[in-house]
Structure 1
Amino acid sequence: MPPSSFQVSSSQGHVVVIDDDAAIRRSLSTLLTRAGYNVSSYESADLFLQNPVLSKPCVILLDMRMPGTLGVDLQMQLQTMAPSVPVVFASGDSRSEEIIRAMKQGAMDFLLKPFTPQTLLDVLQRAMQLAVNTQKQDHRVDKVKAKLKTLTAREFEVCSWIVRGYTNQHIAELDGGAAATVKLHRARVMNKLGVEALPDLIKLLENVELTSELYTEINAPRDPD
């Protein structure tokens, strides 16, 4: 399976319609295009998986029962491929256990066919706003990770202790170092991350968990584009 490819959309957002009914695909594409969305349509989950191009912000409008991969199974794969993309189901033939599974797997909403155009547009508007907010959050986290990449392994470790409320003396006692050395590392952390006080550091690192896995991730060599 190819990895999902993300681009930036200049429209109100990108809606991916996946439905095996050609008439429904055409109708939805017309409605959503007139509403200002950039629309891509696929007749099956398997065709989508062959070339999963998603332009951020994006919402996937997904049928449940299609030949090949079911909608709920594609949804599970999307949790790895594109976890930040909201999924809205639109189905006229779904079992209760499939609906329950879809919602447990994080579906934004589940529309039962037939539904009114306005109902769909209202749901997509909420889903797209979630996608926009998530995109902004992801961008913020990426900027924070870029700053964290400038820290040495020791500075990263000290930073992780600082945001958990440990004092210089306490950190020194935990790792057997000197408080003066910890103070020096602390000053370097604050300088490299562009903050002046602990509250600013805590706010900067909100929603970023400083783990050894994160340090490995941000310092891993990247393949050239």
Structure 2
Amino acid sequence: MQGYTVDTFENATAFLEKSMDISPAVVLLDMRMPGLNGLELQARLEALGRKTPIVFISGESDKDEIIEAFRLGAVDFLLKPFNREKLCQVVDKALDMDRQRNQEFINTDALRRSFITLSAREQEIFMLIVQGLTNKGIAEITGIQPGTAKKHRATIYQKFEVNTSAELIGQCKGVDLSKLMPTEDVKVQ
């Protein structure tokens, strides 16, 4: 099929037991399957934290099922019969979405790894730097001296391997900075 690598599973349980969470990928999911139906599998994947885009295919779904599939994050819903061209367009769209999601995860993870090496004060100053504040502005907000702000900035640049605020801000572009705070299972070394 059009250069795609395809894995098939006999039912949803087999998929849950044997599939690998890889990227880029897309799950083509039929609404009607033995055992768990498509919506039930979609909910299980969500509960497991699997973010692979899902495209539903079905020959007999009602509007409530279609609405629920989209509400739970389906990329598309193809009603049978559909042609190969339409399927390939939808699969390519979902693969592109998954590539972008994976790249965002990688960027956020790299920033998080550097961010957790910062002291609490440096983390505070980091957030002010990426807002575009100068040393003087940082000093006014935090109550420290501009020279101290400058020293913290230098340490932050070193830990993020950048030379300017513009480079640091560039690393943060498109990243939800609230996700930089460490989760409980992440330990500072």
Q: TM-score w.r.t. structure 1 length?
A: 0.72
Q: Show the counterpart of 2:20.
A: 53
Q: Match for 1:86 among 46, 53, 67?
A: 53
Q: Please say if residues 87 and 109 of structure 1, whose CA atoms lie closer than 8 Å, have aligned partners that are also in contact.
A: yes
Determine whether 1:214 maps to 2:164.
Answer: no
Is the 8 Å Cα contact of residues 132 and 165 (structure 2) preserved in structure 1? no
- Whether 2:154 is the aligned partner of 1:194: answer no
The higher-RCO structure (CA 8 Å, 6+ apart) is: 2
Judging changes above 3 Å, is the alpha-carbon distance between structure 1 residues 163 and 219 closer, same or farther for their aligned structure 2 residues? farther
Following superposition, the deviation at residue 71 of structure 1 comes to 1.1
**Matched position secondary structure for 1:69:** coil
Identify the match of residue 104 of structure 2 among 129, 133, 137: 137
Aligned equivalent of 1:24: none
- How far apart are 1:166 and its partner, in Å? 3.4
Alpha-carbon deviation of 1:125?
Answer: 1.9
How many Å separate the matches in 1 of 2:84 and 2:176? 41
> Secondary structure at 2:21's aligned position in 1?
strand
Return the alpha-carbon distance in structure 1 between the equivalents of residues 182 and 93 of structure 2: 35
The structure in which a higher percent of residues are strand is 1
Task: Give the 3-state SS of the residue equivalent to 2:82 in structure 1.
Answer: coil
Is the contact made by 2:135 and 2:149 (CA closer than 8 Å) also made in structure 1?
yes
For 1:65, give the aligned amino acid: R
1:91·1:111 contact (CA, 8 Å) conserved in 2? yes
**Taking structure 1 as reference, are residues 153 and 57 closer, same or farther at Cα in structure 2, changes over 3 Å only?**
same
Deviations 1:68-113 (A, max 9, x none): 3221232233335222x21100111111011011122221111111
The unaligned stretches of length 5 or more in structure 1 are 1-31
Gaps of 5+ in 2: none
How far has the Cα of 1:200 moved from its partner? 2.0
> Which residue does the alignment assign to 1:102?
69
Sequence identity, in percent?
A: 38
| CA drift at 1:156 | 1.8
- The Cα offsets for residues 124-143 of structure 1, whole Å up to 9 and x where unpaired, read as 12222222233333333333
Please name the residue that 1:13 is paired with: none
Distance 1:130 1:209, change over 3 A: closer
Number of equivalenced pairs:
187
- Give TM-score, length-normalised by structure 2: 0.83
The partner residue of 2:124 within 157, 166, 178 is 157
RMSD: 2.5
Paired with 1:173 and 1:118, the residues of 2 have a C-alpha distance of: 59
Report the secondary structure of 1:171's partner residue. helix
Q: Partner of 1:112 in structure 2?
A: 79
